[in-house]
Amino acid sequence: MGDDAGPVVAYEEVTAAEFGVRAARTFTVEQVEPGVLLLGGPCPRCDAVISIPIFDRVFRYGGGSAGEKAPRYETVVCTCDEPHPGRPESRVGCGAFWAIGLREGPS
Partner 1 sequence: MIELSPGPVPTLVDLRRAQAREALLRSELDRVRKAALAWRSGLGGLLVALVGFGLIKGRSDISGLEEGWAVVVGSLLGGALVTGVWGALAILRAAHGRPRVAEMADLPPLAVLDHREALAAAKALRAGIVLTLGCVGFLVAAVGVTWYGPVAREPALVVRTSVGGTCGTFVRLQGQSIVVRSKSGEVTVPLSSVTQIGGAVRC
Residue 47: burial class (beta carbons within 10 Å; 0-12, 13-18, 19+): middle
Beta bridge partners of 41: 50
Q: Residue 43 binds which entry of Zn ion, partner 1, none, with Cβ cut-offs from 5 to 8 Å by kind?
A: Zn ion
Among residues 17, 96, 107, 105, which one has the least CA distance to residue 52? 96
Find the binding residues for partner 1 in span 67-96 (CB under 8 A): 73-77, 79, 90-92
Binding residue for partner 1, selected from 4, 34, 60, 63, defined by CB under 8 A: 60
CA 58 to chain centre: 17
For Zn ion, the closer CB: 5 or 61? 5
Q: How far apart are CA 67 and CA 35, in angstroms?
A: 10
For partner 1, the closer CB: 48 or 92? 92
Interface ranges with partner 1 (CB under 8 A): 13, 15-17, 20-21, 23-24, 27, 29, 31-33, 36-39, 51, 53, 55, 57-61, 73-77, 79, 90-92, 97-107
